[in-house]
Amino acid sequence: MGQSNQLKKCLKPHWVWAIAFGSAIGWGSFVLPADWIATAGPLGAIIGLAIGALLMIVIGVSYGFLIKIFPVTGGGFSYAYLGFGRRHAFFCGWFLTLGYISIVALNASALALLAKFLAPEIATYGEMYTIAGWKVYVGEVAIASLALMLFAWINIRGGSLSGRSQFVFCLLLVIGAMLVVAGMLVSPTTSFDHMEPLFQPEKATLSAIFAIVAIAPWAYVGFDSVPQAAKEFAFSPAKAFMLIVLALLMAALHYSVLIVATAIAMPWTELVAGAPVWGTGEVVQGVLGNLGLAVLALALLMGIATGLNGFYLSTSRLLFAQGRAKFLPEAFARLHPVHNTPSAGILFTCGICLLAPWFGREVLLWIVDMAATGVAIAYFYCCAVAFKCFKWTPDCAGQHYEGCVSPFKKTLSLLGAASSLFFLSLLLIPGSPGALGLPSWIALVAWGGLGGVLYAARRLHIHHMPKHQLDRLILAVGEG
């Protein structure tokens, strides 16, 4: 691959932080607090998300180290190849692609959901049919589709535009959230007494907390956008770990304050008993009026924008890395002739996601439930590879990298791998707090089967390429 097929080094540190933070927050922090409170109670939800953030930081140690020594595109796909070879790289890349694409689609559907709340006459225009109990309207399909096409255009126009836009979106998101939370805290009608009971009284406390911990790979997915963009850093890759930690800590704080703002508005048991469409939106409107709701809606809109923008970037870079290595058709390795962006991956992601609004949100949620599975698989591979790279002592056999001799970091990478397996067990073991439902299992098996067919079709391309050539294409080994 010549220089014409190289991504531009254009991303600044605060842009990369915004990509990680904005992707992790997305729309969920504004839409789901009432659901999390119903699951574990206000304090139970906060504790569960805090535990999840700490586990993500442990996993982030491995990402930070690997980004430093291999600042390449591809993230989990590239690291799985580094540690375990071609088959594992394909497996990891395939399921990580599923996770990223499904989150792009869900963010677009969240925009349609917001429109249903704020402008129902537009979003519910032209009822077409019902799928799995969800009515599909021309209006909501049009809203989601326009958003998908807009952010595809932004990402095709260049990494600089995408990064700069992400930072502006994040600033507006944080300012809007701070104004809403401050308004809720100082309002004479709110009270911390409304947070009682602190835990869900109808469930065992630990079980309820771990049900929240189980969604941590989904709640914080986005910090792993950092390695996807590593080839485009206009700064030292050694800063990556700091950016990851800052993004995760701020994401955990953001989730927590919005849970508190939701729970203090009224007795939370009464709020969740009413099964609100948008619990946080309803209580903010009740306390702060339409002005407060407008500020919250703007912050939510920015959360959707950061999710769409961030995961378009992540998905397209992941597809680009797999296309360069010929694990996927080589069309994915071609860059836009003017903007030098992986436009094929961006357009592919857009095309797949444009199908999603036609199936209704309920069917989409079955697929998105698997997003945490695909992401947790990538987390495991990253931590396992870092464990292999770290050394207990300088005398350990094998290839050494700068800073790799660290018993502490080797231990953390082992804990990160164990945490990833823990997340997977919560999702995949029947009866566990976060276990996938039957529709999600069917979709997961179908995706795996499709991957098997693709692997069989690409097998000659994957296995006949010399290792030194793959090392150059995936890990940039030997590049000047």
Q: Is the residue at 127 inside a domain?
A: yes
- CATH number of the domain that 144 lies in? 1.20.1740.10
Is omega for the bond preceding 197 within 30 degrees of 0, making it cis? Answer: yes
More confident residue, 266 or 219: 266
Domain extent at residue 244:
3-475
Q: The pTM is what?
A: 0.88
Q: Is the residue at 40 inside a domain?
A: yes
Distance CA 438, CA 258 (A): 31
| Confidence band for 354, pLDDT divided at 50, 70 and 90 | very high
Q: Is the residue at 140 inside a domain?
A: yes
Per-residue CA distances from 472 to 2, 81, 281, 335, 477 (Å) = 12, 12, 50, 18, 5
Q: Is the residue at 265 inside a domain?
A: yes
Q: Is the residue at 480 inside a domain?
A: no
What's the average model confidence in pLDDT over 39-67?
A: 92
pLDDT above 90: percentage of residues in the chain: 50
Q: Is the residue at 189 inside a domain?
A: yes
Identity of the amino acid at 229: A
Q: What is the crossing angle of helices 240-263 and 42-69, to 10°?
A: 170
pLDDT for 3 equals 42
Strands 134-137 and 127-131: antiparallel
| Confidence band for 277, pLDDT divided at 50, 70 and 90 | confident
Distance CA 19, CA 247 (A): 9
Q: Is the residue at 365 inside a domain?
A: yes
| Confidence band for 2, pLDDT divided at 50, 70 and 90 | very low
Q: What is the domain count for the chain? A: 1
Q: Is the residue at 62 inside a domain?
A: yes
Both ends of the chain: CA-CA distance in Å? 12
